[in-house]
Amino acid sequence: MRGSVTLFMGDNERLKFYILIVIIASIMRIKLTEKTRTELFLKLSQNKSTGEIADILHVSKRTIKEWGKGNNTIPEESFKKIIVLSCSKKNHFPYETLPENWNASDAARKGGIARNKLRGNPGTKEGRIKGGLKSLKIHNALKTGFKIEKKIRKPGQSEELAEMLGILVGDGHLSEYQASMTTNSVTDIEHAFFVSGLFKKLFNLEAPVQKNSGSKSVDVIASSKKLVGFLVLMGMTKGNKIHNGLHIPIWIMKNKKFWRPFIRGLFDTDGCARILF
Phi, psi of 274 (to 5 degrees): -125, 145
How many CA atoms, within 13 angstroms, populate the side-chain half-sphere of residue 174? 25
Residues near 20 by Cβ (< 8 Å), separated by ≥ 6? 5, 7, 263
pLDDT at residue 4 in the model: 43
| Domain shared by 159 and 276, yes or no | yes
Q: Say how far residue 162 (Cα) sits from the centre of its chain.
A: 14
Same domain, 131 and 242: no
**Phi-psi domain of 101 (left: phi exceeds 0; alpha: psi -120 through 50; beta: other):** left
Q: Specify the number of domains making up the chain.
A: 3
Say if CB 122 and CB 200 are below 8 A apart. no
CA dist 199 and 220 (Å) reads: 9
88 plus 34 within the same structural domain: yes
Q: Are residues 168 and 231 in the same domain?
A: yes
Q: Tell me, what amino acid is at 198? A: L
Task: Classify residue 186 by its DSSP letter.
Answer: T
Q: Which residue range(s) make up the domain with 128?
A: 103-146
Judgement on whether residues 33 and 72 belong to the same structural domain of the protein: yes
- Closest C-alpha to 183, from 213, 159, 216: 216
Q: What is the C-alpha to C-alpha distance for residues 125 and 223, in angstroms, rounded to an integer?
A: 27
Are residues 77 and 185 both part of a single domain? no
pLDDT, tens only, 90-114: 667 777 877 655 555 555 666 666 6
First to last CA, the chain: 26
Residues 241 and 203 occupy one common structural domain: yes
Strands (E), 185-236: 209-211, 217-223
Strand partners of residue 209: 220
Q: Which residues does residue 96 pair with via DSSP β-bridges, in sequence order? A: 31
* Angular region, 235: left φ>0, alpha ψ -120 to 50, beta rest: left
End-of-domain residue from the set 146, 176, 211: 146
Residue 36: give its domain's CATH number. 1.10.260
pTM, full prediction = 0.48
The CATH number of whichever domain residue 238 belongs to comes to: 3.10.28.10
CA distances from 272 to 1, 26, 30 (A): 14, 9, 16
Residues 129 and 228 in one domain: no
Strands (E), the chain: 29-31, 74-75, 96-98, 172-174, 178-184, 209-211, 217-223
Residues 79 and 135 in one domain: no
How many whole angstroms separate alpha carbon 138 and alpha carbon 140? 5
DSSP single-letter state for residue 203:
H
Using one digit for the tens of pLDDT, what is the confidence trace for 146-195? Answer: 555 678 999 999 999 999 999 998 888 899 899 999 888 888 899 999 99
The pLDDT tens digits for 23-73 are: 544 567 888 888 888 888 888 888 889 889 889 888 888 988 888 888 888
The mean pLDDT value of the chain amounts to 79
Cα–Cα dist 219/102, whole Å: 27
Task: Say if residue 185 is in the same domain as residue 276.
Answer: yes
Altogether, the residues listed in the chain come to a count of: 277
Q: Which of 217, 177, 224 is nearest to 199 (CA)?
A: 224
272 or 180, higher pLDDT: 180
For residues 79 and 14, state if they share a domain. Answer: no
208 in the same domain as 116: no
